[in-house]
Amino acid sequence: MKTVKVCVGSACNIKGAPDVIERYKRLIEENALQCDVVLKGCFCMKNCSCGVSVELDGTVLNGLDPDEAEVQFRKLIMGE
């Protein structure tokens, strides 16, 4: 099981964490990954000035918008 964590702390929330979460939910559903990927919200990944911060199966990424979040999800989670 792969884990996707999205920071939902104040800074990341303001910078678009809800949009990133919605994109990940859509990708998981569209690609039938419900049994392979768990999506979690988490608080402060210590990169507040660089949000939105995401951890994709152990790899921490910062400054993601929904489009870049999708690119990285496809690369690191789906192996595309």
Cα(47)–Cα(29) distance, integer angstroms: 28
Domain with 25, as residue range(s), is: 2-76
Domain count of the fold of the chain: 1
Whether the CB-CB separation of 46 and 35 falls below 8 Å is answered with no
| Tens of pLDDT, residues 44-79 | 888 889 889 999 999 999 999 999 999 999 999 999
Per-residue pLDDT of 9-56, as tens digits, reads: 999 999 999 999 999 999 999 999 999 999 999 998 888 898 899 999
Q: Which segments within 1-80 are labelled E, that is strand?
A: 2-7, 37-42, 54-56, 59-61
Q: Is the pLDDT of residue 80 over 90?
A: no
Which CATH number goes with the domain that contains 24? 3.40.30.10
Sorted by sequence, the CB contacts under 8 Å of residue 12 that are 6+ apart come out as 6, 45, 48, 51, 52, 53
In DSSP terms, 56 is beta-bridged to 4, 59
